[in-house]
Amino acid sequence: MAIDYMKYICEMKQKEYGESCYKAIYPAYIQEDVMLPMKDGARLRTLIYKPASEKGIPVEGSLPVILERTCYPGQEPISRLHGEQLAKRGYIFISQYCRGTGGSEGEWEPNTNERADGLDTLRWLEEQEWVDVIGYWGNSYLALTGWAVADQVPDKVKGMCLTHYGTDRFKSAYEKGMFRQDVLTSWAMENAGYPVNADYMESCKFLPQIEVDEKLWGRKVQWYRDWITNTNREDSYWQQGWWKELYDIPSRVKVPLYIRSGWYDHHHGSSMNTWEKLAAKTKEHCWLDIGGWNHAFIPCMEDCKTEQLNSGDVQAMLEWFELVLKKKQRPEKRIRAYVIGADRWISLKEWPAGEGSSRKFYLEAGRNENVGSLEEQLASDKVKWTYQYDPADPVPSHGAESLLKSMMKNGSLVQPQPAYREDVVSFLSEPLEEDICIVGKMRVHLFVSSDCPDTAFTAKLMEERDNGKYYNIRSSITSICHDIGHPYEPGTTEQVTIEMWDITYQVRKGSRLRLDISSSDFPQYHIHSNYAGIWSMQTELQKAVQNIYCGKEYPSYIEIPYQRL
């Protein structure tokens, strides 16, 4: 039976309000629909929810305001629910539709107008007598609309709660030359500004990808073409204009921020880069929470106790705005991270967590030709593992961190048995003699070669628990040419590094670590054609023979940072 997703989310949010410790103080609310003019004359549909008496008389005087700006008219039932619940709690809630969406005038072009329109709206609010102080709230694109103005907010803005978005757009789009296709291709199809009825998987696999908009979607979508052709951070597309301006905004922000991310949210890498760019003085009044949930705040760790997770966003938002808007206090720095496997939150002085210890596990020979071992000491002189990568038959994404269309496959999920495919090489450790609490970024250093002019390599780390099942911890990818920074000569051996997003994860004593190496992870990342050049321009695929080298001559290993907590 199909789930009514909007109904489910509304019921979940309603429950969160009911269970929060911040209760209603007014019996009713009123709603106003305003077409708010911007400087250029375009009018944006702006919904205003105000607290009221039982007879519908609005509360007099100036009140704290919470603003969101959204491009998703399909989510209006959620905004109405927030409007009702926040108004009853003594806030004025304002939900404004971005240009060209939800009844707002103008042409919809993602990202382009959010800074100017957001600032115009905030300046208008600054002048209203019924506005005491202002808070900004947003998740995902709604957080982007907040980041777009965060460095120039007027004086009445006392705090912003921004979740599941970072200002490093390149990081959200690419990982060492590999495009996060499930995130951005699906988002482009759903937000093209007109209905796109093409098959999603057919769209992802279409060659050349640069033509998928006109050939399958019906019209040219230039901003999508820009994303898929500018594959290097150094490209002028990322170093000039809006994306560069957005990237630089965090370093100029002075208003207190509450940044929230999920270990398995597709914007997590960008969110953490954004946190690091904040000025030290600003961080002294900011909060950072990282939880064990996906983009929809749904817990996504199979067979893990999550009693302490508290995955909803309503209680967190209410706590923040109670402090900065109602009590009018400047927050003190707070950093918390949820430890997967331990079901507890830890408080940290800094994030990244700083220097701890690390353990190296070397890829070594194993019990058979398909499964190697992970050892803390090198034993073999030289070991070579070989497999064929066929881009026409990619490894499907399951247990990932950067999925949107396929979001329910994000998370620490049960994995297939070792070497479950001929193009996947697995390495297993001995049972651990003590708990390991992974804190930070893991890196896999591989010596590799291929018979093609470019290709990809993936890595996925897992935990084998005492039930005999395997659960992924982190995964990532690289392509040879982007990794080494120059054209690759087929057949030559190169060292590449696969860097995984940070995490806090406790691996229990007695568990075994498993590392899988392959060459595809689709649709989390685009399918590498095994040709060199811009991926979206490729018109055909070719098979690749891949080699992984291990042992004393070529010491391939995974480096795991950990701390005793």
Determine the structural domain holding residue 12 and report its residue range: 5-163+255-299+305-339
- Both 382 and 312 in one domain: the answer is no
The separation between CA 117 and the C-alpha centre of its own chain, rounded to angstroms, equals: 25
CATH number for the domain harbouring residue 434: 2.60.120.260
Q: In this predicted model, what pLDDT tens digit does every residue of 66-123 receive, in sequence order?
A: 999 999 999 999 999 999 999 999 999 999 999 999 999 999 999 999 999 999 999 9
Q: Number of C-alpha atoms within 13 angstroms, CB side, residue 203?
A: 23
- Both 481 and 535 in one domain: the answer is yes
- Per-residue pLDDT at 2 exceeds 50: no
CATH number for the domain harbouring residue 70: 3.40.50.1820
Residues in the chain, how many?
A: 565
Kindly state whether residue 217 falls inside one of the protein's structural domains. no
Kindly state whether residue 283 falls inside one of the protein's structural domains. yes
Identify whether the C-beta of residue 164 lies closer than 8 Å to the C-beta of residue 291. no
Instruction: Extract the runs of DSSP E, i.e. beta strands, from 285-407.
Output: 287-291, 334-339, 344-347, 357-364, 371-375, 383-389
Q: In this predicted model, what pLDDT tens digit does every residue of 400-422 receive, in sequence order?
A: 999 999 999 999 999 999 989 99
- Both 486 and 387 in one domain: the answer is yes
Q: In this predicted model, what pLDDT tens digit does every residue of 547-557 receive, in sequence order?
A: 999 999 999 99
Q: Report which secondary-structure segment, H or E, holds 315.
A: helix 314-321
Identify whether the C-beta of residue 83 lies closer than 8 Å to the C-beta of residue 28. no
Identify whether the C-beta of residue 452 lies closer than 8 Å to the C-beta of residue 544. yes
- Per-residue pLDDT at 531 exceeds 80: yes
3-state SS of 478-507 is EEHHHHHCCCCCCCCCEEEEEECCCEEEEE
Please tell me whether residue 181 adopts helix, strand or coil conformation.
helix
- Both 324 and 461 in one domain: the answer is no
pLDDT band at 3 (very low <50, low <70, confident <90, very high): low
- Both 309 and 416 in one domain: the answer is no
- Both 67 and 147 in one domain: the answer is yes
Kindly state whether residue 229 falls inside one of the protein's structural domains. no
- Both 317 and 436 in one domain: the answer is no
Q: In this predicted model, what pLDDT tens digit does every residue of 425-454 receive, in sequence order?
A: 999 999 999 999 999 999 999 999 999 999
- Both 398 and 490 in one domain: the answer is yes
Identify whether the C-beta of residue 383 lies closer than 8 Å to the C-beta of residue 364. yes
- Taking CA atoms, 187 is separated from 52, 195, 196, 525, in Å, by 38, 12, 11, 14
- Per-residue pLDDT at 355 exceeds 80: no
Q: In this predicted model, what pLDDT tens digit does every residue of 140-161 receive, in sequence order?
A: 999 999 999 999 999 999 999 9
Write phi, then psi, for 373 (nearest 5 degrees): -125, 155
CA–CA separation, 529 vs 486, rounded Å?
18
In the chain, % helix, strand, coil (3-state, to 5) comes to 25, 30, 45
**Burial (CB count within 10 angstroms: exposed 0-12, middle 13-18, buried 19+), residue 219:** exposed
Kindly state whether residue 176 falls inside one of the protein's structural domains. no
- Per-residue pLDDT at 564 exceeds 90: no
- Both 446 and 318 in one domain: the answer is no
The tokens describing 213, both together, are 């908009």
Please report, in angstroms and rounded to a whole number, the separation of the first and last CA atoms in the chain: 44
- Both 332 and 414 in one domain: the answer is no
Beta bridge partners of 36: 44
Kindly state whether residue 189 falls inside one of the protein's structural domains. no
* pLDDT given at position 1: 38
Kindly state whether residue 249 falls inside one of the protein's structural domains. no
Kindly state whether residue 552 falls inside one of the protein's structural domains. yes
Q: What is the mean predicted confidence (pLDDT) over 362-385?
A: 90
Kindly state whether residue 374 falls inside one of the protein's structural domains. yes
The tally of domains found in the chain comes to 2
The model carries a pTM of 0.96
Residue type, 209: Q
Mean pLDDT of the chain: 96
**What percentage of the chain has pLDDT greater than the value 90?**
95
Q: What residues contact 161, with CB distance under 8 A and at least 6 apart?
A: 135, 136, 137, 138, 257, 258, 260, 316, 317, 320, 321
Q: What is the mean predicted confidence (pLDDT) over 539-548?
A: 98
Residue type, 6: M
CB atoms within 10 A of CB 128: 13
Write phi, then psi, for 162 (nearest 5 degrees): -120, 120
The tokens describing 401, both together, are 């961190």
- Both 329 and 388 in one domain: the answer is no
The tokens describing 357, both together, are 């210890």
- Both 474 and 545 in one domain: the answer is yes
158: alpha, beta or left, given left = phi > 0 and alpha = psi -120 to 50?
Answer: alpha
